[in-house]
Amino acid sequence: AGAEKPIYRASTTAPVNIAVIKYWGKRDPKLNLPTNSSLSVSLDQADLRTHTTASCSSSYSSPDTLTLNSKPESLEGARPQACLSSLRALRSELEEKDPSLPKLSTLPLRIVSSNNFPTAAGLASSAAGFAALIRAIADLYELPQDPTTLSLIARQGSGSACRSLLGGYVAWDHGTEADGSDSKARLVAPKSHWPSMRALILVASHEKKDVSSTAGMQTTVQTSQLFKTRAEVVVPAAMEAMEKAIAEKDFESFAKVTMRDSDSFHATCLDTTPPIFYMNDTSRAAIRAVENLNKRAGKIIAAYTFDAGPNAVIYYLHENREAVVGPFKRALGEKEGWLGQQGAAIGYAEI
Ligand code: 2P0
């Protein structure tokens, strides 16, 4: 009987990405269409990834299920449903064209997913999670679409997820179409273009953030006066400067634009009513530490950036590892890897 009811299966991984130009604000909350473009670097050499296996079979009972880090999770929200129905529609097109293909589009799905980095790292896992989900099902369905096209689907799961379908330096162009068809990921440069780029992740808190990105950015759009200038003036200029810095492997420019955009994003959060505080005292101490080690070096060798939480990601080049990582190691303890210490922890990620 087992042979009559085969299980079809595909496994894949997708990397965490950390934006150096931040996505914050939607022009269409339903389709996850952003107000401004963004640009990220994927932390993929360090094994900061979500691993996902997708399978389907007529021996499975409905509905589709998701297991994340060994716990059952709901797939019922509008966002996962939008992703699943887009992928099923693409598979069903293939099946109509070639009737000899197994009718996978109608079978219940089982998704099993796990992150191989500690949740204590406080890294946004929804980006890698949705990217791995889309990639795994696209592989299971043997979809011919390229990663950029699949990024349109991942975007509907979580905006930042569209950037995790491509490795390396990835832009997400905001696009102008009302249906979102031009709001997708674009490869700026593969990781191999700038192989000495590294990142240090400094964990300032293990606590869950109190304002979700989805809710926080909507409040910003509705209330912040700085937001309009950020979206219309600040980010377009920063995107241009960042793409040039990456093309020329100009770390000083890369670092300046990265730090200014993080500051601009957090200023916009502070300009929201009620104000959103993502950084804490430890975050601010990390900024001072980066400023001090740049001063000591006599040039910019490290760049901080903070997402919707207090943890710092510090970019540097491999040749400056000791000068950048050394001071943080000495301050937090000499052990390498992820470690917790009095509410603080430090981890290394090579990108
Ligand atoms: C980013 N963040 O560009 C920015 C920087 C947080 C700060 O993308 O509502 O989880 O799912 O589209 O993608 C977090 O926002 O929000 C985010 P949704 P998402 O990485």
Do 173 and 230 have their domain in common?
no
User: Quick check: bond before 274 cis, omega within 30?
Assistant: yes
CATH number for the domain harbouring residue 137: 3.30.230.10
Nearest atom (ligand 1) to Cα of 22: 3
What is the residue-averaged pLDDT of the chain?
90
State yes or no: pLDDT of 70 exceeds 80.
yes
pLDDT of 243 over the 70 cut: yes
Q: Are residues 147 and 281 in the same domain?
A: no
Which amino acid type is present at position 92? S
Last residue in a domain, options 190, 211, 228:
190
- Domains of the chain: total: 2
pLDDT of residue 351: 41
Q: Which domain holds residue 329?
A: 197-350
Q: What is the CATH number of the domain that holds 296?
A: 3.30.70.890
Is residue 131 domain-shared with residue 74, that is, in the same domain? Answer: yes
Which of 158, 164, 261 to mutate to test ligand 1, by most ligand atoms within 8 A of the CB atom?
158
Query: What pLDDT shows up at residue 333?
Result: 65
Is residue 213 within 6 Å of ligand 1 at its C-beta? yes
pLDDT above 90: percentage of residues in the chain: 77
Cβ contact 127:163 at 8 Å: yes
pLDDT of 4 reads 80
Q: Residue 70: phi, psi to the nearest 5?
A: 70, 5
Q: Do 262 and 123 belong to one domain?
A: no
Per-residue pLDDT at 349? 46
For ligand 1, the distance from its centroid to the CA atom of residue 161, given in whole angstroms, is 8
pLDDT, one tens digit per residue, over 162-214 is 999 998 999 999 999 999 999 999 999 999 999 999 988 887 776 767 788 99
Q: Do 168 and 248 sit in the same domain of this protein? A: no
Task: State the DSSP H helix or E strand holding residue 225, giving kind and residue range, or none if neither.
Answer: none
- Give the sign of the dihedral formed by CA 59, CA 62, CA 68, CA 69: negative
The conformational region for residue 175 under phi > 0 = left, psi -120 to 50 = alpha, else beta, is: left
Report the SS3 class of residue 92: helix
Which amino acid is located at 340 in the chain? G
Are residues 64 and 102 part of one domain?
yes
Render pLDDT for 43-55 as a digit per residue (tens, 0 to 9).
Answer: 665 567 899 999 9
CA distances from 308 to 223, 278, 333, 344 (A): 18, 6, 26, 17
> Are 186 and 212 within one domain?
no
Q: Is the CB of 22 under 6 A from ligand 1?
A: yes
Q: Mean pLDDT over residues 80-106, rounded?
A: 98
Looking at the structure, tell me whether residues 127 and 248 fall in a common domain.
no
H/E/C letters for each residue in 287-341?
HHHHHHHHHHHCCCCEEEEECCCCCEEEEEEHHHHHHHHHHHHHHHCCCCCCEEE
pTM of the model: 0.93
Ligand 1 pocket, residue 32 CB under 6 Å: yes
Angle at 184 between CA 177 and CA 137, to 5 degrees: 120
159 lines ligand 1 (CB under 6 A): yes
Among 4-8, 136-140, 239-243, whose mean pLDDT is lowest? 4-8
Does one domain contain both 163 and 217?
no
The pair phi, psi for residue 157, each rounded to 5°, is -75, -55
Residue at which a domain ends, from 190, 216, 249? 190
Residues 53 and 90 in one domain: yes
ipTM: 0.97
**What is the CA(309)–ligand 1 centre distance, in A?**
11
Q: What is the pLDDT of residue 44?
A: 60
Q: What is the predicted pLDDT for the residue at 263?
A: 98
Task: Quote the pLDDT of residue 335.
Answer: 54
Q: Cα 40–136–347 angle (5° rounding)?
A: 45
User: Does pLDDT of 120 surpass 70?
Assistant: no
Average pLDDT value for residue range 312-320: 93
Residue nearest to atom 12 of ligand 1 (CA): 159
| φ, ψ for residue 37, nearest 5 deg | -70, 165
